[in-house]
Amino acid sequence: MPILPARGSRRGTGLAPGGGHEIGDLVRAKGIEARWHGPATMPPGRGHNAAARPGDGRRGYSRLVRTAQQILADAAVIAVVGASRDPRKAAHSVPAQMQRYGWRIIPVNPTADELFGEPVYRSLADIPHPVDLVDVFRPAEDAVEVVREAVAIGAPAVWLQLGIVSPEARRIAEEAGIDYVEDRCLIVERAAAGLSRR
């Protein structure tokens, strides 16, 4: 299905009809400052497959195999590790909003049975079909093992949500040759590009 700008969407907000106010406040406060820094803003001397690292003074990091927004545009199925039952938490509102815009969400949580109308799996290894992106809502120290599991199941990309940074997880992803994004929010990037799978 082609990715089209969301009908009636407003760039600069993470809001979807009926939800996501917590993230919307974040987006407005930051003015989408976490949006992707693509090749045009890459510092001199960097190749196309290198991107801003934490020491470059710019928020967020992604290996530039694909841009963060290209990863979202290419993905149809997103496994969410650490998906929450609590609608007040970003680990619930973010995947719920992505689902409203047409992405299939596969929740991974060891203590729940169903979320977002989908069965919940205890681990990435339990998911019986391929996923296009693994989104991580776990502390940085847990993200390392999640990335290892993502590599083991053949996921082409891993995304650590806003506020989660792990040099070790990044190293594992780089060595495996998969796309890696950290310290960014799915719905901020979706809104910035006006993406929808509807």
Q: What is the CATH number that goes with domain 4-38+60-196?
A: 3.40.50.720
Q: Whole-angstrom Cα distance, residue 66 to residue 64?
A: 5
Tens-place pLDDT, residues 75-100:
999 999 999 999 999 999 999 999 99
Dihedral sign computed on CA atoms, order 92, 95, 190, 21? negative
Cα 78 to the chain's mean position, in Å?
A: 8
At CB < 8 A and 24+ separation, what contacts does 119-126 make?
120/83, 121/79, 123/149, 124/79, 124/81, 124/149, 124/150, 124/152, 124/153, 124/155, 125/149, 125/152, 125/153
| 82 Rama sector, left if φ>0, alpha if ψ -120 to 50, beta otherwise | left
Strand partners of residue 106: 79
Tens-place pLDDT, residues 26-72:
433 333 333 333 322 222 222 223 333 333 333 454 444 689 999 99
| 91 Rama sector, left if φ>0, alpha if ψ -120 to 50, beta otherwise | alpha
For tokens 């909003």, what's the residue?
A: 97
Mean pLDDT of 4-11: 41
Q: How many CB atoms lie within 10 A of CB 175?
A: 9
Task: Give the model's pLDDT for residue 190.
Answer: 97
**Extents of the domains making up the chain:** 4-38+60-196
**What is the torsion angle, in degrees rounded to the nearest 10, for the CA atoms of residue 116, residue 118, residue 123 and residue 129?**
-130
